[in-house]
Every structure is written in structure tokens, then in C-alpha cells.
Chain A
Amino acid sequence: MLGKLIKYELKGTAHYFLPLIAAILILSLIFSLFGSLYAQWATWISGLMIFVEVVLIIALAVMTLVITIQRFYKNLLGDEGYLMFSLPVSTHYNILSKLLVATLWNIAVLLAVTLSIGILVMHADIAGILQMAWQQLTQWLNMSNFSILFIILEWIVVGLISVAGNILLLYLAMAIGQLANEHKFLASFGAYIALQCALGILTALLAIIIPFHFTLDWLNTFSPVALVHIITLAVAADAIIGGTIYYFLTHWLLKRKLNLT
């Protein structure tokens, strides 16, 4: 059942994301060809291209956020929720299918943006970009110091977890907002701000309490590489603990407190 829900969620989102991703790649390709032809003519042209590219990236980021929110809000908490919540599937599947697909698209957009910047910087020399990426990769793989490679892998995993964690925080805010009988979206927005404030206060408190009560001198005994691992693990633990709490709260709210009005 989860597989089927994921399939329909992919179908329901692909017609937004695929054109967006294609648009940014094609436009940066056109810009960079245009730029390389006319750059010697007038330097302001390449400046303009970079400006437009930045605007495009911001627009793409905003669109991604909007679609991520809209899919959960409209498909689960709006009128379409009447269908999704009367299907004989568990609430876990409904949340997970949204989360997995949203995470996938967020990462796809991130990769597309990276690639489009690469295209622009390298003046559309795709072969050059690939060659450089390959060189970098083999260089990493051939490194005698595996820990650097390991750290890079760690950061990719932590990045994935953080993306999912951030999406779950949005979901939690909407699951709280739907409890209101009116102005659900406004309530969700309020809930998000309140959650962010609470998290900010919690972080600040921890930052004050931990150095006060525990001596952190033992950290100095570690090598710089080990310290990077420790910090990475701490960031990952933070994202995993946060994400898990958001997930189960969202699940509880949608299972026990669902209020489709």
C-alpha cells in the first residue's frame, strides 16, 4: 500500500517539479551560451545573466517550499483529505508517502540548482563539468585519508536527514493548524512560528546550560578529524531526534485529532 501511495504522490507532484527542474537547467544552459558569446562584447551581460540566475534559484526554492506545503495541506487536510483519509491505509503510510516524495523532490531541486550553477560557471561546458566532478571523485577515492571521504558521506546523509526533518516540522505545524475550526492555514502559519520560537529558546537554553554544568575540555583531546565526526554526529542526532518527535506528534494529531471541516 505504501508503494501505491508513493506512486500516486510521485504522479501528483511530477507535473510541478519536472518542468521547474527542466526550466532552470535549460535557462542556465541558454544564459551560459549567450554569456560566453557576448561576454567579450559587454561585461554587463554576464552580470545580468548571473543576476537572473540568482533570481531563478530563489524562485525555484520558493516554489519547492510552496509545493511541499501545498501537497500536504491540500491533499491531506483539504477536500482531497476526504479521499486520502477514507482509504483503508494507515496514517503512517499517508504521512510517509508525502514525506519520502517531498524529500526526494527537495534533493532533486538541490542537485538541479548545483548543476545549473556549474553550467553557468563553466560556460555550458558539460563535458568539462563531468570531467571535473569525476576528477574530484577519483581524487577523494584515492585519498589515503579515508576519513575525509567518510566525512563527506556523513554530511550527505546528515543533509538528507535535515531536509526530511525540516519538512516534518512543516507537517507538524499544519497538523496543529488543522485543529482550528476556522482559518486553518493561518493557524498552521502561527503554529510554525511558535514551534520555531520554542526551538530557538530550547537551543539557547541548552547552549547556556551545557557549558555551565559540564566541562567540555575532554573535546580538546580529540584530533581535528575526530572533532568533525563528533560535530557531524551531534548535528545528525539533533535532526533525528527532532524529526522523530515531529513525525510522531504529526501522526498522533492526524490519527487521534483529525478535524476535516
Chain B
Amino acid sequence: MNENNLENINTETIAPILQAVALKKRYGSCLALDALDFSLTRGRIIGLLGPNGSGKTTLLKLACGLLQPSSGKIVIDNHTPGIYSKSITAYLPDKPYLNDWMRVQQLIKFFSELYADFCSERAYEMLDALGIDCRARLKTLSKGTKEKVQLILVMSRKAQLYLLDEPIGGVDPAAREYIVNTIIGNYSENATVLISTHIISDIEPVLDEVIFLNRGKITLQTTVDDLRAERGKSVDEMFREVFKC
């Protein structure tokens, strides 16, 4: 391997998995994201925390190319959202987005045919653990079970970046623990998981970093260890303090 190649590999591994530069998103007269500048390092579990309407979902949708920035840019592994970025990003939206006429096993086949990094065995294992019948049609499943299926499909990919929008919002507390463990147990090494949520206490133990988003601006980006060491506070306490009504 020549020097040039080594250099390429080095920059590739060092380059942040996600980077936003002066990222703005406007809906009509409403400014949803206001000039965000931040980057996410690889191999971290990061909480994207903020009250309702702070811009969390908008940010994740911009990263997936489902929305276009009004100005500025967002890149994933140095690529603007496109075929490449989508092939390394596993996205879980905050709403049901699967074809509900399909059976769970058909969805698994769909994912395995369209995502090269999808691992069917992993999906069947998780469905089994949560007691979900893979022959059931999606529309016959309860809301919470549908959410579990979606999360299982997303976490069964060996992606480099996972963008999870409210992954545990509608799931019962018993399954929550399993899901949180699934997230930390299943994401590939060197991958980054960005979890948007306002249910902090359940997810706090697994977080490496937090980003606080308020009215389209980042008010805090720090590691959980620093938060504890420097301010002597847990993420939950900090959240309640920053976003006090």
C-alpha cells in the first residue's frame, strides 16, 4: 500500500461522520434551524435532545435528504445527501413509514434486497426476542409493535450512521430496555448513533454525548462525562434546567 492510499484512509477515518455548516432551514416564515455548525465523531452514541418543535426531526430529515436546506450544508462522510450517504445511513422516522399491506417477513426481504448492509438473521433474532410474528401483516399489528418492527429493520443494518427519531416514544417500558440494549448491542463498531428523544432517563445510561437543541439553535454540545465532571449534573437534570418552562 503506498503512502497516498494510507493518507486517504486516515482522512476517511478521521473525517466526521456528519457535519453541518451554517445549516439553515426555513418553513415559510418560520425558521426551524438557525445556522447550525456542528460535527459528529465516529463511534459515539449521541443524544439529540430538545423540547417539541426545537428542530430535531427537521435536522434528521435534512441529513437524509428528505428536506433540502434553505442555506448552508450538511454532509455525511463528506458527501451531500445522495445515493452514497443513504447507503451508509440507517434512518428511523418518527412516524409509520412502511407499506402496511406487507407482511413482516416481506419487509425483511424488501430491506435485504435494497440495502446491501442488511442482516436478515439479526432481524429475525430480534423479532423472535420481542415475540413478533413475522407472518403478520403490518396493518394488523398494534402501533407499538409497528414501531418495534421499524426499529428492528433499521437496527438490522450494518450502517455507519444511525439516525433514530424518537425510537422509544410509543413503546412500553418493558420493551424500552430491550430496545436500548439493542441499540448499544447491535450498532457496528465505529458507527455513530444519533438519537432524538425527550425521554431522557431511559436513554441516558448509554449516551456518550449530548446535543441540546432549542428553537433551531444548538445550546450545548458536550460529552456526558464532561457534563457530570464539570457541572456535576446528569443529562436529565441539565435538560430540566436548560428547558425550564
Contacts and interface: CB of A to CB of B under 8 A. Distances in A.
Contacts of A259: 67-68
A80 B101 CA distance: 12
Contact of A181 (B28, B83, B84, B101): B28
B178 interface: no
Given A82-B93, A82-B95, A88 B87 contact: yes
Interface in B102-133: 110, 113-116
Given A4-B113, A181-B28, A85 B65 contact: yes
Contact of B66 (A1, A15, A81): A81
Nearest to B30: A181
Contacts of A136: none
B25 to A, nearest CB: 10
A80 B114 contact: no
B64 A89 contact: no
A258 B64 CA distance: 11
Contacts of B64: 85-86
Contacts of B99: 12, 75, 80, 83
Contacts of B67: 258-261
Nearest to A3: B113
B97 A83 contact: yes
Contact of B98 (A83, A88, A89): A83
B101 A258 contact: no
A86 B101 contact: no
Contact of A8 (B83, B96, B110, B115): B110
A211 to B, nearest CB: 45
B130 to A, nearest CB: 21
Contacts of A87: 86, 114-115
Interface of B: 27-28, 61, 64-68, 83-84, 86-87, 89, 91, 93, 95-99, 101, 110, 113-116
Given A1-B114, A87-B115, 14 more contacts: A4-B114, A79-B97, A80-B98, A82-B66, A82-B91, A82-B97, A86-B65, A87-B114, A90-B83, A181-B28, A258-B67, A258-B68, A260-B61, A260-B67
- What 4 A-B pairs are tightest by C-beta distance, nearest first? A88-B87, A82-B97, A88-B86, A260-B66
29 contacts: A12-B99, A12-B101, A15-B101, A79-B95, A79-B97, A80-B98, A82-B66, A82-B93, A83-B97, A83-B99, A85-B66, A86-B64, A86-B65, A86-B66, A86-B86, A87-B86, A87-B115, A88-B83, A88-B84, A88-B86, A88-B87, A88-B116, A89-B83, A90-B83, A258-B65, A258-B68, A260-B61, A260-B66, A261-B67
